[in-house]
Copies of this chain bind each other. A is one copy, B any other.
């Protein structure tokens, strides 16, 4: 299939690579063109000079960029993908963005004769490299059926959650869960260290019971060691939590601890930890 991929960041670079390896003909666009050139050298695709050019002739156009504004720029902006897409082509947005943007793009795509899916992912850089991402999809069932086998190139769990926007909403639920969970984990491990326990041993023993979590199993040791130079950056988590809190205001949902953890992440940023992994909440407790 002829496809386009716009945005070759930490996630997109690998996702586009999996599409090429699965046998699709991939045209890529990236704001920093040297990265696009490196991708084409590695995977043997074609580099385009603008999203519109990349989208020309593509049955499916994927994008994975930074935030709502970036998505608008590469889709409906000047030289955006919408200006190159043919009727019947589908735009799949892998960016974690607002549900409102997804609904807006869905309307504009329909008006232009395109399909649209919001499809944020979970699983991080490791998941992107391994091709084992979880993909939360919103949009038309028929559109989903066309795209789903293609997305399987990097998604080991690809689920349609409902109408446009519901992929984004599901990703927000994911981030809300992680925020509370990580602060609880940070406080528990901080307590363990202060109490003089062998905190790594405590984490291991506890992981067999009702306090078990992926974060406990995969982050306890690095949290205790104060290692945060990897993983999912606090800057990105704050972007996601801003979307969650804004959406919660709209839906009148109450998120007291999520709002507090967002503020704690602000303090991590203020001490220079914007690029640290989200598990760095423990640093605020260990080094007040």
- Give, as a whole number of angstroms, the nearest-CB distance from A216 to chain B: 7
Are A210 and B173 touching (Cβ within 8 A)? no
Q: Does A189 contact B (CB under 8 A)?
A: yes
4 smallest beta-carbon distances between A and B, as pairs: A180-B184, A213-B213, A176-B188, A177-B211
Are B201 and A172 touching (Cβ within 8 A)? no
Are A258 and B187 touching (Cβ within 8 A)? yes
Are A170 and B202 touching (Cβ within 8 A)? yes
Q: Does A192 contact B (CB under 8 A)?
A: yes
CB < 8 Å neighbour of A254 from B190, B209, B211, B258: B190
Interface residues of A (CB under 8 A from B): 99, 122-124, 127, 134, 136, 156-157, 159, 161-162, 166, 169-170, 172-185, 187-192, 194-199, 201-203, 205-206, 208-216, 218, 232, 244, 247-248, 251-258, 260-261, 264, 284-285, 288
Are A191 and B172 touching (Cβ within 8 A)? yes
- Show 25 A/B contacts (Cβ-Cβ < 8 Å), sorted by A: A134-B205, A161-B197, A161-B198, A161-B202, A170-B206, A173-B197, A174-B210, A176-B184, A177-B216, A178-B184, A180-B187, A180-B257, A184-B184, A184-B257, A187-B253, A187-B255, A187-B256, A187-B257, A194-B251, A195-B253, A209-B214, A210-B214, A213-B213, A213-B215, A260-B260
Are B194 and A173 touching (Cβ within 8 A)? no
CB < 8 Å neighbour of A191 from B124, B156, B198, B253: B253
Extra contacts, 13 of them, besides A169-B197, A256-B264 (Cβ < 8 A), are: A122-B206, A162-B197, A173-B202, A173-B206, A174-B206, A174-B210, A174-B211, A177-B213, A177-B216, A191-B253, A194-B251, A211-B214, A213-B213
- Closest-by-CB residue of B relative to A259 is B187
Are B173 and A192 touching (Cβ within 8 A)? yes
- List the B side residues contacting A179 at CB < 8 Å: 184
Are A136 and B205 touching (Cβ within 8 A)? yes
- List the B side residues contacting A156 at CB < 8 Å: 208
- Closest-by-CB residue of B relative to A217 is B212
Are B208 and A134 touching (Cβ within 8 A)? yes
CA distance A189 to B208 in the complex (A): 24
Are A161 and B210 touching (Cβ within 8 A)? no
- Closest-by-CB residue of B relative to A172 is B191
- List the B side residues contacting A211 at CB < 8 Å: 122, 174-175, 177-178, 181, 214
- A178-B184, A198-B162 given; A192·B213 CB < 8 A: no
- List the B side residues contacting A209 at CB < 8 Å: 122-123, 127, 134, 157, 174, 214
Are B215 and A191 touching (Cβ within 8 A)? no
